[in-house]
């Protein structure tokens, strides 16, 4: 039973990694075709970095609020 989970997770990781590789390669090749879009690409990259940063801060705040609320409610949140 444990081997099935390991095989499925490994297969999923390989498929996702292959898909990401080809997606990045395709976008890179498309960018080389039209060098005028470099400014647009930079703007999109900047916006993407901002979205990732805001999402990361939001997740960290949510985790902090969850632990504070759990402690106030008397839950045992110690790690094993």
In a domain, 14, yes or no: yes
Separation CA 35–CA 37 (nearest Å): 5
Predicted local confidence at residue 77, as pLDDT: 79
pLDDT tens digits for range 7-39: 999 999 999 999 999 999 998 888 777 767 777
Predicted local confidence at residue 53, as pLDDT: 97
- Cβ of 37: how many Cβ atoms within 10 Å? 12
pLDDT tens digits for range 44-74: 889 999 999 999 999 999 999 999 999 999 9
Structural domain total, the chain: 1
Q: Domain containing 28: what range?
A: 2-72
In a domain, 78, yes or no: no
Enumerate the H helices of the chain as residue ranges. 2-33, 38-72
């Amino acid at each position: 039973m444990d081997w099935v989970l390991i095989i499925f997770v490994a297969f999923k990781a390989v498929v996702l990694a292959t898909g990401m590789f080809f997606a990045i390669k395709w976008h890179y090749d498309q960018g080389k075709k039209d060098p005028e879009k470099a400014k647009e690409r930079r703007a999109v990259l900047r916006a993407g970095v901002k979205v990732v940063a805001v999402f990361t801060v939001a997740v960290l705040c949510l985790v902090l609020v969850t632990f504070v609320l759990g402690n106030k409610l008397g839950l045992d949140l110690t790690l094993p």
